[in-house]
Amino acid sequence: MRAEPQDFSRVLSSMCTEPHPAAREAAETFLATNPGDPGTYQTVAELEGDAVDALGEIAGLDEPHGYIASGGTEANIQAVRAARDLAATDAPNVVAPESAHFSFRKAAGILGVELRTAPVDSDYRARVDAMTELADEDTALVVGVAGSTEYGRVDPLAALSDVADDAGALFHVDAAWGGFVLPFTDEEWHFDHVGVDTLTIDPHKMGRAAIPAGGLLARSPDVLDALAVDTPYLESTEQATLTGTRSGAGVASTVAALEALWPAGYREQYVRAQNNAEWLADALDERGYDVVEPTLPLVAADVPRSLFARLREEGWRISRTGAGELRVVCMPHVTREMLESFVADIDALARTPSTVE
């Protein structure tokens, strides 16, 4: 097998990263375990309880209910599913900002709920007035984003929580990517700050656990109960996850990463990433490109399409926002040297004529 492991030296597009060494080791140790069958795989099932408790500590919840999902998409789908099944309506809808992750569109299609998306303001944050207008008595869930995929923005979550309350809906916060950097900012984002009912926080993104490790947390056990199905021929009796068999690697590496990095290691990682993002934003601004200021470690800038294409030809793994801007996620594997090299390539390419377009 021609197995070349992933080279992260030019990856600027991913919201995943290299796992922490302790997380990698734990993942390898627990590779052949299945927390989806806790009666058989008891050790990893206990570890999952530890992982949920630790995520609860980060997200301001003393007695968290939840589990380690395959990722943020599953966690978001499950939040919509629970809200749908707990809502007292035959035509449930979900109100979310248009900046919400595409997994909410996927969830709506799968679950047969109407997704209503509200425009964002000039700083790419949910417009509370627009969200309010969309919410009604059939709204099962209001979604706020804490670290948006495109611009790393945090919605006005306290106000959105009120929108949910007024509509009699549950309030979900998607902190899939932001959850491991927000604790070191002044943002109000978690269960102890605002009236959050469910929250997505992914260890395999900024948390440096191994894929697949997403996190779904809920304030009330009712949410997990709404998701549970009976499980004959397993010694456990219920299963609240979307998938059946699951990876023990994700669970064990979550526990290991949290033990190694919470809180000091994550704080240090955040400071370095945020400094890198600000350095890159300044460098692009100095070169005349329109930059979206990074409030979290994610930079967007309006570079010409031809330059973008040539940077990809140089091997840079970069992606675009919906509006077509260059988007760079300053994950832990993204060093200052990488960014310097990236900017040097931009300078070199900008000097040579393009044959594209």
> CB burial class (10 A; 0-12, 13-18, 19+) of residue 276?
buried
Provide, for the chain, the percentages of residues in helix, strand and coil under a 3-state DSSP scheme, each rounded to the nearest 5: 40, 15, 45
Q: How far is the CB of 351 from its own copies (least distance, A)?
A: 25
Q: Is 235 in the site for its own copies (CB under 8 A)?
A: yes
The closest of 293, 297, 320, 310 to 347, measured between CA atoms, is 310
29 lines the binding site for its own copies (CB under 8 A): yes
Site for its own copies in 141-180 (CB under 8 A): 149-150
What are the backbone angles phi and psi of residue 251, rounded to the nearest 5°? -65, -50
* Residue 68: strand pairing partners: 215
163: Cα separation from own chain's centroid = 23
Residue 33 found at the interface with its own copies (CB under 8 A): yes
**Per CB under 8 A, 305 contacts its own copies:** no
Place of tokens 């969830």: 107
Question: Which amino acid would we find at residue 309?
Answer: A
**232 in contact with its own copies (CB under 8 A):** yes
Binder to its own copies among 116, 125, 310, 327 (CB under 8 A)?
327
Figure out which of the listed residues 57, 121, 225, 259 binds its own copies, where binding follows CB under 8 A. 259
290 neighbors 301 (Cβ within 8 angstroms): yes
Q: What are phi and psi of 230, to 5 degrees?
A: -65, 150
| Min separation Cβ 115 and its own copies, Å | 12
Q: Work out which of 91, 105, 290, 354 binds its own copies, going by CB under 8 A.
A: 105
Kindly state the number of chain residues that form the binding site for its own copies, as judged by CB under 8 A. 85
Residue 242 in the binding site for its own copies (CB under 8 A): yes
Stretch that binds its own copies, among 27-35, 187-195, 285-293, 349-357 (CB under 8 A): 27-35
Identified binder of its own copies from the candidate list 116, 153, 190, 204, rule CB under 8 A? 204
